[in-house]
Structure 1
Amino acid sequence: MVNTSGSYCSMVRRLILSFIVLLTACSAPAAMSPTATPSPVPTRAPTSTPTTADSTPVVAGYFPDLPRGRTPEGYHYLGRPDAPVTMVIYSDFLCTSCAIHTLDVEPRLIEAFVATGQMRLVYRHLLQLGERSQILAEASECASDFGYFWELRREIYARYNQLYFNTRETVIDLAAGLGIPRDAFTTCLDSHTYQAQVQADYAAAIEEGVYARPVFRIGTEVIVGSQRFETFAQVIERVGQW
């Protein structure tokens, strides 16, 4: 009779030894391979923006020599408060046509009619594009606490397509870049200081029948959408009877 117990035990020992070797190989550190270089983490901007010696923020300036303030209703205006013609702008900060008008047409209108004392601009908030529009409208009002409403407004429109993402953080950076103290601005924004005001502004615009964007009310005439400078000029001159 062949004795198989010895060979069987030998086979078992070999299997156990093979398993131990395999287990050791799997648990050992893998060979080093090239890894991607980690992207540097962006450094947060300083918690406060450097200011002049008297702590007055350095104004970037959007036609800074023109009169600016608020109407009795609380809307921002630019230009002589007693100008014979008023252009009311109903606009949303995330609106492409609104941005095109603000960047391309509005400066020409200001130079031709506002700087000459013939017209003033009045800005009204539309919140037609959701929560991000609300955040940006509130941010512009927070900027007004430091005299930067028109400046931040322009910066937002210049980068509106970037503000669909990380809206809060991006607009805080834009404000700080203008010289607005970061901490004070952030506190204003996060506490929703102007939430009720901008929502009331939007509700008033709806009551006035404004549903599109942008809308421009010049006297009794209304222009809808971004139009050429010449179109605005014709209406302004007609309303002003010049």
Structure 2
Amino acid sequence: MPVARTRKTKNNKKSNKRRTPGAPGASGPQAARPVAKRRKLAAALLAAVLVSVLMVGVLSAIGSPGGDEESDAQEQGEIQPLPEGHPALDLARRDADDPLAAGPADAPVVMIEYVDFQDAFAGIHARGTHGELVEEYVETGVLRIEVRNFPINGPESDAAARAAWAAGQQDRFWEFHDAAFAEEFHRDSGRFDEDGVLALAEAADVPDLERFEADMASEEAGEAVGRDAQEAYDLGVTSTPSFLINGQALHGARSVDEFRDVIDQLYEAAE
């Protein structure tokens, strides 16, 4: 980005006033320090502004409610990959040991999914499109899916998020995910109360249920869920499921063809 340069005005008049060290307008090391500090502060503020500007596109896209908004990547026609170094690309954690992720850590396309286990549209996606994406793209090494817990529908949503994280500590996150979304259900139905999450853990073949309960109640679980939720809030996410595919936003229970269109274009651009 071009940076405007200010011109120094010429002043041919010489001042006969003597300056004392440290006084306003003094020269030398003591005067240089506050000037250097001001320059560093200005540079830091400029960097913060640039990051904010870069994020505007992501915020405006993923922050709109509903699953049929025309601001989504799919409505933009030809997808333009985000430039290298864009903050949205840094959201992908690419941790090979992340139990809430599927697919190779170095996959060319990363899809971040913000999910509430009590959300009906998240369930529709999980029972349909998700499986097709796994078969076509995750298993072939093209796509990596990273789930972020975003419990926005009350206490049972929070309990479900903690339970999903706890199942992941025993490498059963995706089994818990599938069991939790296996059928339609009403919100706050007791599906994710104390007995409900244990039943889902059993259905997911979580081997140590006592450890599962302890992990679910742990401070670490709260911190992990809180970290994911804060990321979503910072982005301006207002509904689930919401997705960032290499930084490109999609909302709701979209058809598999809509995901294919975005993933295919981003994969081709990455080759």
Q: What TM-score comes out, normalization by structure 1 length?
A: 0.66
Decide which of 153, 158, 179 is 1:134's aligned counterpart.
Answer: 158
Write the deviation string for residues 137-185 of structure 1: whole angstroms up to 9, x where unpaired: 0001111111101110111112462673332211111112333222222
**Aligned counterparts, 1:105-144, within 5 A:** 105-144=129-168
- Show the counterpart of 2:125: 101
How many Å apart are 1:125 and its aligned residue? 1.0
**Aligned counterparts, 1:26-175, within 5 A:** 71=95, 76-159=100-183, 161=185, 164-166=188-190, 167-175=193-201
How many Å apart are 1:241 and its aligned residue? 1.6
Equivalent residue letter for 2:120: T
Contact kept in structure 2, 1:103 and 1:157, CA below 8 Å: yes
Equivalent residue letter for 1:129: N
Query: What is the CA–CA distance in structure 1 between the aligned matches of 2:94 and 2:143, rounded to whole Å?
Result: 15
Query: What is the CA–CA distance in structure 2 between the aligned matches of 1:72 and 1:236, rounded to whole Å?
Result: 21
Equivalent residue letter for 1:87: M
Pair 1:174–1:192, CA change in 2 (3 A): farther
Query: What is the CA–CA distance in structure 2 between the aligned matches of 1:191 and 1:235, rounded to whole Å?
Result: 38
Contact kept in structure 1, 2:126 and 2:181, CA below 8 Å: yes
Query: What is the CA–CA distance in structure 2 between the aligned matches of 1:159 and 1:191, rounded to whole Å?
Result: 28
Higher-RCO chain (CA-CA 8 Å, sequence separation at least 6): 2
Equivalent residue letter for 2:127: L
In structure 1, runs of 5+ residues without a counterpart are 1-68
How many Å apart are 1:229 and its aligned residue? 0.6
- Show the counterpart of 1:222: 249
- Show the counterpart of 2:203: 177
In structure 2, runs of 5+ residues without a counterpart are 1-92
SS of the counterpart of 2:224? helix
Equivalent residue letter for 1:172: L
- Show the counterpart of 1:29: none
> Which runs of 4 or more aligned residues in structure 1 lie more than 4 Å from their structure 2 counterparts after TM superposition?
72-75
Contact kept in structure 2, 1:94 and 1:160, CA below 8 Å: no
Q: What TM-score comes out, normalization by structure 2 length?
A: 0.59
Query: What is the CA–CA distance in structure 2 between the aligned matches of 1:231 and 1:212, rounded to whole Å?
Result: 18
- Show the counterpart of 1:189: 216
Root mean square deviation of aligned Cα: 2.3
Pair 1:75–1:204, CA change in 2 (3 A): farther
How many Å apart are 1:196 and its aligned residue? 2.1
Which of these two proteins has the greater Rg computed from alpha carbons?
Answer: 1
How many Å apart are 1:121 and its aligned residue? 0.4
SS of the counterpart of 2:185? helix
SS of the counterpart of 1:194? helix
How many Å apart are 1:76 and its aligned residue? 2.4
Pair 1:160–1:185, CA change in 2 (3 A): farther
SS of the counterpart of 1:161? coil
Contact kept in structure 2, 1:75 and 1:122, CA below 8 Å: no
- Show the counterpart of 1:240: 267
How many Å apart are 1:192 and its aligned residue? 5.2
Equivalent residue letter for 1:230: D
Q: Which moved more, 1:214-223 or 1:227-236?
A: 214-223
State the percentage of identical aligned residues: 26
SS of the counterpart of 2:202? helix
Write the deviation string for residues 4-57 of structure 1: whole angstroms up to 9, x where unpaired: xxxxxxxxxxxxxxxxxxxxxxxxxxxxxxxxxxxxxxxxxxxxxxxxxxxxxx
Query: What is the CA–CA distance in structure 2 between the aligned matches of 1:235 and 1:105, rounded to whole Å?
Result: 14
